[in-house]
């Protein structure tokens, strides 16, 4: 693999050896999300795993959005 970039290699490969996660799969209505747990009941959306096509256009389901999940979530 060849990478052509003007960025320093330290920035390009930053975090390459770190383990991501922990991830949790959560069903929100008709959409299944992959959430990265930040604290109990709070997580950041990593990706939409399954759902209707219009769910991908909903701004509240954008990857990177912090959401509440679990039994106490609204």
Give domain status of residue 8, yes or no. no
Give domain status of residue 13, yes or no. no
The model's pLDDT over 14-58, given as tens digits with 9 standing for 90+, comes to 888 887 778 999 998 899 999 998 888 899 999 999 999 999 999
Answer yes or no: is pLDDT of 65 > 80: yes
For residue 66, which phi and psi values (nearest 5 degrees)? -85, 130
Give domain status of residue 32, yes or no. yes
For residue 57, which phi and psi values (nearest 5 degrees)? -100, -5
Give domain status of residue 5, yes or no. no
Give domain status of residue 74, yes or no. no
| Strand ordering across the sheet containing 31-39 | 23-28, 31-39, 42-50, 66-68
What total number of domains does the chain contain?
1
Give domain status of residue 2, yes or no. no
Task: Identify the domain containing residue 50 by its residue range.
Answer: 19-68
């Amino acid at each position: 693999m060849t990478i052509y970039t003007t960025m320093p290699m330290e920035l390009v490969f930053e975090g390459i050896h770190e383990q991501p996660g922990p991830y949790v799969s959560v069903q929100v209505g008709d959409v299944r999300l992959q959430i990265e747990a930040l604290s109990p009941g709070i997580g950041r959306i990593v990706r939409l795993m399954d759902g209707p096509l219009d769910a991908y256009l909903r701004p509240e389901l954008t990857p990177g959005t912090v959401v509440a999940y679990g039994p106490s979530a609204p």
